[in-house]
Chains A and B, each alone.
Chain A
Amino acid sequence: MQLFDIIGPIMVGPSSSHTAGAVKIGYVAGKLLDEPISEAIILLHGSFLATGKGHGTDRALIAGLLGMEPDDSRIPNSIEIAKDRGMDIQFGEISLKDAHPNSVLLKLTGKYGRSLDIIGESLGGSIINISSIDGLSANFSGDYPTLIVHNMDQPGHVAEVTSMLSHKSVNISSMQLYRESRGGNAVMVLECDQEIPTQAIEWLKKLEGVEKVTYYSLK
């Protein structure tokens, strides 16, 4: 653990996992959707469901979706702020298979029609993991610029993405590949050391066999 994970972070209480981690999950999800959220369906699992209310997990998730970070003093009032901004919020319960006890499924719809389903897990000490995007496995922390490419399971897509990154001098910190079935839907998740230029992401979106490109920027 790094020094400033021990003395820190500065955060709104009461719980690093159930409050600060929840803000971070919402924040990453909101950035991945990349447009103002018109509807958020929030389904809580396990300990998030059992003790979430007392820990402000509900308000923390919404605050993150609104783009607030874990030290934002407006977190306790996030639900009111979301309503003012026209975000429709529904809370519910879910029992996710093989999920971490602190998990949430976020079903988001944006103002301009984009939609995104994300499962986020809060691992403790405000460290998080995004474990699923649109029903496909993923594993990333939100600590690096992250590229998520949904594509058909065909030869060549990994080479296209990695040669583009090489061309843009972006170093890959970690890379994961998942697929539903042979020749079916696949996803690659790349955590990078540098930001990926916007035009490179737009270029990826136009490739044949690439179905969806989602990018999480630290900026």
Chain B
Amino acid sequence: MSFKMLSDIVNESNQKQIAFWEVVLNDDCKNEGLSKDESMKRMSDIYLAMKEADLNYDPNALSSSGMTGGDGALLEKHRMQPNRLIGDFLTKVMEKAVKMGESNACMKRIVAAPTAGSCGVIPAVLITYEEERKVSVNKIVEALYVAGGIGEVLAESAEISGAKGGCQAEIGSASGMAAGAIAYLEGGDNETIVHAVALALKNMLGLTCDPVGGLVEVPCVKRNVSGAVNAIISSQMAIAGIRSRIPPDEVIDSMRRIGNLIPECLKETSKEGLAITATALKTVVH
């Protein structure tokens, strides 16, 4: 059974004196009839697929609409510049998020997390974390269970598809999941993890899904960057001790209600917003 609230996971973690990620792992083993080793092997294969997708980025690939390609390479080049405003960690996160989003648009193999449109957020944050902080792959796999548990709650109690909940359900969910994962990696306790989620989600509430031509490209690819960076700043606020004034599960409930209230024309139907701008209508040829 999936978790309905973040507090379900936290309570079980406190009662059984096991980590947040282990609660999620145990639940998966029970649901799928897997041993812990089997489930963790599956999760490390997923992480490996994320890393492969990152490495296989093709700077020359162009999506079939012609709208997407090459921006990851621009950020990589920018990362080599000496007088950058932003530090290595965040610059790398931005680059990896765009690269993954572009690879997805160009029909490369990616990991939907939670969706294909938001596939850049979690790997951008976790792969960069592994590279820059020199932690073990096992630790990252644990963080993926943290992210997955948060995602289960979001799927159960809000939405994780743009068609149902707007972009807040896709990039927003991915960002909340990544924020919790980073909070865990940085040594945050359960409360820090769930408040990182709440802080990240609050910054994404109300985000609409109005993709140009109905394609997972504009604004989706670059929104992966904002989701990834938002995950990091939110986790840092939580690590610093900042708490969301609205409890995490209440934030998720408002995300659900807001998602229901977003009009259909802004939920993956491409009937409003960016999708009907003069340039969008001119650009897209079916």
Contacts and interface: CB of A to CB of B under 8 A. Distances in A.
A13 B155 contact: no
Interface string A11-31: 111111001100000000000
Contact of B112 (A51, A75, A76, A126): A126
Contact of A55 (B32, B144, B216): B216
A159 interface: no
A16 B116 contact: yes
Nearest to A54: B215
B286 A10 contact: no
A15 to B, nearest CB: 5
Interface residues of A, number: 33
A4 B141 CA distance: 13
Contact of A7 (B27, B103, B144, B270): B144
Interface string A55-94: 1100100000000000101011000000000000000000
Contacts of A59: 107
Nearest to A4: B42
Contacts of B24: 3
Contact of B115 (A16, A47, A54, A73): A16
Interface residues of B, number: 52
Interface in A184-212: none
A15 B117 CA distance: 7
Contacts of A71: 49, 109
B28 A6 contact: no
A181 interface: no
Contacts of B111: 7-11
Contacts of B156: 1
B106 A13 contact: yes
A63 B164 CA distance: 28
Nearest to A7: B148
Contacts of B46: 4, 7-8, 10
Q: Which 10 A-B pairs have the closest CB atoms?
A: A13-B104, A6-B151, A51-B214, A54-B215, A14-B216, A1-B155, A3-B28, A76-B107, A7-B148, A10-B49
Interface of B: 2, 24, 27-28, 31-32, 42-43, 45-46, 49, 63-65, 103-117, 119, 122, 144-145, 147-149, 151-152, 155-156, 160-161, 163-164, 213-217, 270, 284, 286
Interface of A: 1-16, 19-20, 47, 50-51, 53-56, 59, 71, 73, 75-76, 124-126
